[in-house]
Amino acid sequence: MSIKNVSGNKVFGGWHKQYSHDSSTLNCAMQFAIYLPPQVASGAKVPVLYWLSGLTCTDENFMQKAGAMRMAAELGIAIVAPDTSPRGDDVANDDGYDLGQGAGFYVNATEAPWNKHYHMYDYIVNELPELIEANFPVTDKRAISGHSMGGHGALVIGMHNPERYTSMSAFSPICNPINVPWGQKALTAYLGTNKETWEAYDASELMRKATNFLPVKVDQGGADNFLEEQLTPEALKQAAEASGYPLELNIHEGYDHSYYFISSFIDEHLRFHAEHLAK
């Protein structure tokens, strides 16, 4: 559980810090960022929002571009942003941006060579929270959110583990990966060709069959270049209607897939999570 501080910046009365550690789950060194709001300076323990980023991102994208720390400071919420995959010279990779390092898809890989390192699902659900709760002044109250590939990860992890999270949300998630090119490429590589095994990592399939509901908020840009081919929020909407899942899905006309979109609505997501973290 040893961690090493890499950097630190004071912001809105709290601290943004980066840490590295050796992950036993991923069998490599990993880096994560954490924002600790000013409330911890007076001895308070705060709840945590875990943010999962999208393809090609690291822990830095959300922390530097989303503008989330002002509201997190006001609400008294810590934010943890892990990397999007295992990394290192001996970690399997691919020439494409949508597979390998930077594209872990938050699954537990079963196929070689990926299965040696690519267990991002277990890392996010188990190892990282244990590390955070052992080393920082936080409670065991957790929420989860993410963008694109990370939105897929947040919804899948939240629905598989409703007892571990108070709420989940997503920006522009890959809603039905078993039926879109990004998902089919990654799931074939990481899990093999048996498509039945893919369904455990498909938010629409999980939502369609769900009986234990978690509060969920999804925002999607109407001018997103990936909307129809890769993201397919209509599949998630239909799945929610089939099971009665209380999905809040908002389509925002004119917004794209970028952090301009995320920064426009991140405060609403933080307030949404704060409401449920307080219960």
Burial 178-206 (b: 16+ CB within 10 A, else e): bebebbebbbebbbeeeeeebeebbbbbb
3-state SS class at 173:
coil
Check if 257 is active-site. yes
Check if 224 is active-site. yes
Tokens for 116, please give them. Answer: 């040696």
Question: Among residues 23, 53, 148, 172, which one is catalytic?
Answer: 148
Question: Among residues 59, 224, 269, 276, which one is catalytic?
Answer: 224
Instruction: Report residue 253: phi and psi, to 5°.
Output: -65, 140
CA-nearest of 195, 220, 203 to 160 is 203
Q: What letter does residue 108 receive in the DSSP assignment?
A: B
User: Which residues sit opposite 171 in a β-bridge?
Assistant: 147, 219
Q: How many CB atoms lie within 10 A of CB 168?
A: 29
Question: Among residues 117, 147, 257, 276, which one is catalytic?
Answer: 257
Q: What letter does residue 43 receive in the DSSP assignment?
A: T
Asked whether the beta carbons of 239 and 214 are under 8 A apart, the reply is no
Q: From CA 41, how far away is CA 234, in angstroms rounded?
A: 44
Residues marked active site are found at 148, 224, 257
